[in-house]
Amino acid sequence: MKKIFIIALFFSLVFGTTQAFAGNVAPNCTYKGVPLYGKVKVVTNFEDFKVKKVTNFEDIKVRKVTAFPDRCGRWQFVDNFEDFKIKYVDSFEDFKIKFVDSFEGI
């Protein structure tokens, strides 16, 4: 019985923490509990998320909108009153995005 418990504990630690360190967006379109839609500000310091722009193998598809950023992947870029801040990076990103004109989301 003790062996089964140890094996179960081992697998829960290995596979349970893999998702946290994978850098992927959750199925409900959140990352670290923050919904990935809304008003976004691009900054160079003090960001909420580090984002890498890619053309393939993205974590989320992002559509730039000017109004109603109310669904997964719809981002309205603003200078004030943002929902979250991002910084564009080339490596060590939190998640990867691809800009699209339609079919935004995960």
For residue 18, the model assigns a pLDDT of 39
Residue 50: pLDDT band with limits 50, 70, 90: very high
What pLDDT score does 24 carry? 80
Residue spans of the domains in the chain: they are 24-99
Poorest-pLDDT segment among 19-23, 43-47, 57-61, 81-85: 19-23
Give the count of beta carbons closer than 10 Å to the beta carbon of residue 20.
9
Q: What is the mean pLDDT of the chain?
A: 86
More confident residue, 53 or 12: 53
Which two three-digit tokens encode residue 45? 């310091």
The DSSP output letter for 60 is E
- In this prediction, residue 76 carries a pLDDT of 97
Please give the model's pTM, rounded to 2 decimal places: 0.75
> Which residue type, as a one-letter code, is found at position 51?
V
